[in-house]
Structure 1
């Protein structure tokens, strides 16, 4: 650290009063002692009946809103835009989680952090508008649950505060305390939760929000971004994350006691236990200490191990909530048809999900989007808000069940969001034994056979010749080929080029020179198991190609 930094009387991003109080509390502690400390045994946090009643509130669909677009617009019209889908009759949205974190700058009146200088927010400030307070007020007026979602390690914004600052300098706090960050894919560094000062700063800013606004709960969103511990040492240092989560829980309990109403705590974590271990999240210990009320599972991963988390948290009142992000979507399925959303939701409900969280979905009808100058989302999102919130409203509706694909998310070092162990794409070689991929089906197709018009197993293949033959079985039973299309197009498959990062499907166009093979196999409904199924695929010996690549595997269930 330079002499200039050592002699600073204040820390950039913090006002002087906060700096002095923080120093007294050990905010600027050296990371050395904290990094050496292992996880310490701790007693479970006591939770009263009122807290458990709040945990058990009805949540069908929870919306996490990253509400950054069109800041500074006419505020009443902007509110209408933000709440448009929420206000529709028969919407299944029960809870709104506002995602308004700006690294270590405040988007609200604050004594802990300096304000984010952003033209739209500044315009509202001049009008006396506290958008966070108004959003909480408007959510409560609709009798909906309201949370604040805190991004654990948000990236720096660009100079005008409208997007990621890829080429900018580190935040002033990072510049003053370079040992507070992990050097990783984000060149400015991400917050290191092994550092006591980082943890304490976050507890202070969350306390301010909890004391100043009437939130029902808070979410610690670890999806944005990892790593939050030094790479290669995440599990070794997991106790520091547990210490942080416990500190937030205890702080929220203190605030809740003063206001005589519970404040819940959620965390967004990877979609399976192996990924949690890789990223340093000790979910078993969090459950043992009763640190969290809701686990949001994944972000862009449609394969969530809900059953595994349920076993791990058994005996604790912890709700499990898988998440679907339709911007950084699961690879090759951004802006899908409604049948895809139904299939994903049916799989999650079948595994025992307590609610479903949507993230990066559209919030308003096309006419209102165009009025504000924003691009409308797909109609399937709007329809999904009326259907996917309960198993009953999904019953006997057409669905597509798909096998997850790898890749599409380079903005992480670790496991979260990457889907590195997904089964697809899959190389089929002529001389090898059949390759098997898992396929989950949330509907009881065998029981509903009399109401089903057709079940198809669909493959999308790259690199096949017109006369190649691929054999398929479902749960060990051969299925007949009904149709093939040697000129199939898919604007979200880029082979033989490298698959791009997720998030651009609204701009991608069909490649007129693309040549994929689509194969549809007929499936008797009685062959389908509710839950786990196995699809086996083999490139037949007489095929011209030596190998092909299976890009997609889907089961289409069409009801009468």
Structure 2
């Protein structure tokens, strides 16, 4: 039966008849209005169903293969560098960024933005145009690989990448000169190389301007319409300076937040429309700092997005951590979305050996174990591209991780770049940030306390590991440390520690003191270490770092 909108009442009909006809008309108009609502609810239900898919590991690929790595323009060569060997690993989802080093430059076949196909200078081996001319689109290659191996593929957009701000490297100016959008619209940028902003890269675009938001929307809409992606990632952590208000050193305004929320709403509508047309939803996820308050300060109304169904998933983390991971898990559960936490490379500047330990396999196992214990839905790996790395077959299984050696630090990343480059985050930080870039001064007669987290539950461990707590100090004399400091772990005074000859560098005054501790002293979750400097201790003493090593018998590696 075909429904038709009733005609207006004919002249001469009774008032009652005309009223009935008008009522029927309005009822039908209301029915028509409800159909989009019903469709939206149906799409929402489909999104929620697809969002439940397990994603033990998410592989974020920055898409550099066509620009830097490939030798010949073939799909096999594109996949060989980072992707082929992921088949059969714990990776359930690939987030593929098609370059994006500067808003508007991509390696997929865009008509809205620009294809990054320059072969000038440093980019002489760029094969992007060769691939597209051969009918090989990098994004489609990833999608086809995903379908073959039952791996999801999201397209990832770096919302304000400013690698093109870097005038110290040749690729910065070369990238910027390729970006016609930025060249045509200097009024959209935070500044110039000669007159940079107070915070962030000068080439960043100002999302406070409608022209920027419209351009970015059309880029995302084009991908939704032209590519069979499973989802779209909006990577706000690359980089988290999005508005000129922030670039000038001020908090984002209500207007800034409203503008970005409107962009998210438009993206949701476009993604749902494209999903309806193909009969399969497109999920929306965002990579954001792990603090609702800090997000608001930089123009992201995260909780509003979650409350109003603008996100299906979120990834937290980046180059700094502001809250215990449980904070973000509770936030996600409150609004029924999935939450993933990223493991990023540590970029502390001082003491390269400490940085290397933080970026080791052992450290990443420890970070992953903490995340699983906190209740995340999966692990997101950023700037980790080696498909031969054992991590791709370890980190997605917490039961396996529980049997493996690992390292735990009080703080892997410290305050990160936000301490000096992005909007300041110190007042939003609710976790320890002890690291060589931010040592803690020790005061005579006072207790200095730092917390660290342990994901292992040693009460349930079938094999008991050896656990060693190592603390690094500066300006402690060579004599016995017990003369100068007392160490407590979870309220228990530890016996005198020993100088760790392997970790301590005799070229400076940074000493590692080790304490073999019983696993029974360690709790799953937060642990507290206190250092008490004796009244006779040196007034210049500093606490630099904290490391807990977990080592199982040799068969368990």
TM tier, shorter chain?
Answer: 0.7 to 0.9
Aligned position for 2:47: 51
Structure 1 counterpart SS, 2:417: coil
SS in 1 for 2:355: coil
Residue of structure 1 aligned with 2:315, choices 296, 303, 306: 296
Question: Could you say which residue in structure 2 is the equivalent of 1:472?
Answer: 487
For the aligned residue pairs, the C-alpha RMSD in angstroms reads: 3.0
After superposition, the C-alpha distances for 1:273-299 in whole angstroms (9 at most, x for unaligned) are: 343233222221111101101111012
Structure number with bigger Rg: 2
> Retained in 1: the 8 A contact 2:224–2:270?
no
Tell me if 1:429 matches 2:448: no
* Contact 2:116/2:178, CA 8 A, preserved across alignment: no
Write the mapping of 1:446-465 to structure 2, written as runs, cut at 5 A.
446-448=459-461, 451-465=463-477
Task: Give TM-score scaled by structure 2 length.
Answer: 0.78
How far off its partner does 1:188 sit? 3.6
Q: Distance in 2 between matches of 1:354 and 1:235?
A: 32
Q: 1:303 to 1:92 in 2, by over 3 A?
A: farther
1:350 alignment counterpart: 373
Gap regions ≥5 residues in structure 1: 1-44, 366-381, 491-511
Distance in 2 separating the partners of 1:162 and 1:129? 28
Q: How far does residue 221 in structure 1 lie from its aligned partner after superposition?
A: 0.3
Aligned residues: 475
Q: Report what 1:406 is aligned to.
A: 414
User: Which secondary structure state, in structure 1, belongs to the residue aligned with residue 115 of structure 2?
Assistant: coil
Q: Is 1:524 matched up with 2:529?
A: no
User: CA 1:423–1:77 in 2, change beyond 3 Å: closer, same or farther?
Assistant: closer
1:286-345 CA-to-partner distances (Å, cap 9, x unmatched) read 111011011110123467533222333444331110101237579843463332112111
Question: CA-to-partner distance for each residue in 1:29-63, whole Å, 9 max, x for gaps?
Answer: xxxxxxxxxxxxxxxx7453321111011100000
Distance in 2 between the 1:329 and 1:98 partners?
A: 27
Q: Specify which of 305, 329, 333 is matched with residue 355 of structure 2.
A: 333
Deviation at 1:156, TM superposition (A): 5.5
Give the drift of 1:259: 0.9
Alignment of 1:212-251 (within 5 A): 212-229=226-243, 230-231=245-246, 232-234=250-252, 236=254, 237-251=256-270
Distance in 2 (alpha carbons) for counterparts of 1:106 and 1:115? 5
Task: Return the alpha-carbon distance in structure 1 between the equivalents of residues 217 and 426 of structure 2.
Answer: 25
SS in structure 2 at match of 1:261 = coil
CA distance in 1, matches of 2:445, 2:178: 51
1-structure distance, mates of 2:333, 2:522: 29
Shift in alpha-carbon separation, 1:525–1:71, aligned structure 2, 3 A? closer
TM-superposed deviation, 1:383: 1.6
Cα distance, 1:52–1:209 mapped onto 2, change above 3 Å? same
Unaligned runs of 5+ in 2: 1-39, 120-125, 192-196
Matches within 5 A, 1:136-535: 136-155=143-162, 157=164, 163-165=171-173, 171-183=179-191, 184=197, 185=199, 188-229=202-243, 230-231=245-246, 232-234=250-252, 236=254, 237-301=256-320, 305-326=324-345, 328=347, 332-334=354-356, 336-365=359-388, 382-404=389-411, 405-409=413-417, 412-415=421-424, 422-424=432-434, 425-448=438-461, 451-467=463-479, 468=481, 469-485=484-500, 488-489=503-504, 513-535=507-529
Shift of 1:433: 1.1
- SS state at 1:333 partner: helix
User: What's 1:73 paired with?
Assistant: 71
Give the C-alpha shift of residue 173 in structure 1.
2.7
TM-score, normalization by structure 1 = 0.77
Equivalents in 1 of 2:545, 2:215: separation in Å? 45
